[in-house]
């Protein structure tokens, strides 16, 4: 199931990025005391009372300013509003209700989405009375918060979580492999969908962003049931929306969360750009199985070395995803397309693979015997026991004497040895170190 989505919206410089950083527990957003610093939407994962959700930090909305950056920021905020289940509308207690706040309020009323009104910069009890003028915005009880002091964040999140949609049972069974095509606009995701299905089910156009929504299409091939999720492009037109680098990320994230396998579609003719790395990073961080699909291979000038050279470029650019296989196809001519679904099935199986505990411990013991952990200040890591605790992705817990002695380089070595023993092509694996306790006996 996809996580519910909260968008933090408001005019510039009301403290949205500070609150965003507090919610996700990381300093992803640049915080600076001048308007318009947050240029792009930022995305993170938050949790409150065991409820996990996605959160979007938007640039501030400035309605009347004709500056190109502020116009673009407003567009991004509108798109975030469109994707969100709940909106946190943030205002500034020190500034009071401004004309821009009133304009933002009108925008939010039109969205018909649940809105939680958060009044930031209420840093002490003496400022508590300053929240009452915000009743005039029409969103019910304002919630006093302070991003700099962490006051009221829990109350704000509790109010937001109360508006989350009810969880629905997954509409597809465990035996169905769900895979999503993600990538920047106009790399051929919809054309690939049609080619795989063998029919024109999705609108295909040379104009970037013509796919309006994520489209689920169930189908069956060689006795295996699949659902293909074609991620949306952009919903609106206009020059700002045709800046194709930024606006499909949220829908891609929603598709990633619902899928078992992610097909990262790259334009073989244009090559790899920075945006491809960002998109692939979301799949990796979500722990999904992944395949690089290089499309438009029919129009690439090539010789017997071109495929190997392009594969090496992918390895160089995506160092964090060396486990992902690379498939070269052409949606237009269906060249090599028959190779794709068998790879999807294989990486889906690896993503769900569970290793017997005694076999895993044999592999880890052999790895340690072959290359013992280095010492650190006279202490040496000792691995007592290993077990697999999850699949999709496979997660392994190592019970050790001192977790802090597990250096990332040795963890990478163990990752490589586990992969060498069991395959796991196409899926990330996670290795966690835990101190052995008496309860683990």
CA distances (Å), origin 191, targets 20, 122, 291, 393: 37, 52, 17, 29
Query: Annotated binding residue at 36?
Result: no
The answer to whether 71 is a known ligand-binding residue is: no
- 297 annotated to bind ligand: yes
Is 234 a known ligand-binding residue?
Answer: yes
188 is in an annotated binding site: yes
Whether residue 361 is annotated as binding a ligand: the answer is no
Ligand-binding site membership of 46 (annotated): no
| 202 annotated as ligand-binding | no
Q: Flag whether 60 is marked binding.
A: yes
d(CA 119, CA 115): 13
237: annotated binding-site residue? no
Alpha carbons within 13 A on the beta-carbon side of 303: 1
Q: Is the distance from CB of 3 to CB of 257 less than 8 angstroms?
A: yes
Q: Is 296 annotated as a binding residue?
A: yes
Q: β-strands 379-380, 375-376: how paired?
A: antiparallel
- Angle (CA) 74-76-80 rounded to 5° is 115
Torsion of CA 348, 350, 354, 355, to 10 degrees: 170
* SS3 label, residue 90: strand
Rounded Cα distance between 314 and 307, Å, is 11
409 marked as part of a ligand binding site: no
Closest CA to 89 of 138, 47, 24: 138
Helices in 340-383 by DSSP H: which ranges?
340-351, 357-370
Is 189 labelled a binding residue?
Answer: yes
| 13 annotated as ligand-binding | yes
Q: Is 12 annotated as a binding residue?
A: yes
The β-bridge partners of 47 are 52
186 is in an annotated binding site: yes
Q: End-to-end CA distance of the chain, in Å?
A: 35
Residue 48 assigned to a binding site = no
The residues with which 225 forms a beta bridge, in sequence order, are 220
Closest CA to 232 of 184, 298, 196: 184
371 annotated as ligand-binding: no
Q: What kind and span of H or E run contains 256?
A: helix 249-258
Q: What SS3 class is residue 349?
A: helix
CB hemisphere CA count around 189 (13 angstroms): 30
> Would you say 184 is a known binding-site residue?
yes
Is the Cβ–Cβ distance between 87 and 116 less than 8 Å? yes
**Three-state secondary structure of 319-347:** HHHCCCCEEECCCCCCCCHHHHHHHHHHH
Phi, psi torsion values for 298, nearest 5 degrees: -70, -25
138 labeled part of a ligand binding site: no
**Binding site, residues?**
10-17, 57-61, 120-123, 183-190, 230-234, 295-298
**Binding site for GTP, residues?**
10-17, 57-61, 120-123, 183-190, 230-234, 295-298
């Amino acid at each position: 199931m996809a996580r519910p989505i909260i968008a933090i919206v408001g005019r510039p410089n009301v403290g949205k990025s500070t609150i965003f950083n507090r919610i996700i527990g990381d300093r992803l957003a640049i915080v600076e005391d001048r308007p318009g610093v947050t240029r792009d939407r930022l995305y993170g994962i938050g949790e409150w009372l065991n409820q996990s959700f996605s959160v979007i930090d938007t640039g501030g909305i400035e309605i009347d300013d004709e500056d190109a950056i502020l116009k673009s920021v407003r567009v991004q905020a509108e798109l975030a509003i469109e994707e969100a289940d709940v909106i946190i509308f943030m205002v500034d207690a020190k500034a009071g209700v401004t004309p821009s706040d009133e304009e933002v309020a009108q925008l939010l009323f039109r969205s018909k989405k649940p809105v939680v009104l958060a009044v930031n910069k209420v840093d002490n009890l003496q400022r508590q009375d300053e929240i009452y003028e915000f009743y005039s915005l029409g969103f019910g009880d304002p919630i006093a918060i302070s991003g700099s002091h962490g006051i009221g964040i829990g109350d704000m999140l509790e109010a937001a979580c109360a508006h989350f949609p009810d969880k629905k049972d997954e509409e597809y069974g465990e035996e169905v492999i769900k895979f999503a095509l993600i990538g920047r606009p106009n790399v051929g995701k919809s054309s690939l969908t049609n080619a795989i299905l063998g029919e024109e089910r999705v609108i295909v156009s040379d104009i970037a962003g013509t796919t309006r929504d994520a489209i689920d299409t169930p189908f069956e091939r060689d006795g295996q049931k699949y659902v293909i999720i074609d991620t949306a492009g952009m919903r609106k037109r206009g020059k700002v929306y045709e800046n194709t680098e930024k606006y499909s990320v949220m829908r891609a994230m929603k598709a990633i969360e619902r899928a078992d396998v992610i097909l990262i579609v790259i334009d073989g003719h244009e090559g790899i750009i920075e945006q491809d790395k960002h998109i692939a990073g979301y799949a990796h961080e979500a722990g999904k199985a992944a395949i690089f699909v290089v499309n438009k291979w029919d129009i690439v000038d090539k010789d017997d070395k071109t495929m190997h050279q392009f594969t090496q470029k992918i390895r160089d650019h995506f160092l964090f995803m060396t486990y992902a296989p690379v498939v070269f196809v052409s949606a237009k001519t269906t060249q090599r397309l028959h190779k794709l679904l068998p790879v999807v099935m294989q990486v889906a199986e690896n993503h769900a693979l569970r290793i017997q505990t005694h076999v895993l411990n044999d592999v880890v013991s052999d790895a340690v015997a072959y290359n013992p952990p280095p010492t650190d200040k006279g202490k040496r890591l000792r691995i007592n026991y290993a077990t697999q605790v999850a699949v999709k992705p496979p997660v392994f817990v190592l019970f050790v004497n001192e977790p802090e002695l597990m250096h990332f380089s040795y963890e990478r070595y163990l990752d490589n040895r586990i992969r060498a023993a069991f395959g796991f092509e196409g899926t990330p694996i996670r290795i966690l170190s835990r101190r052995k306790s008496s309860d683990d006996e």
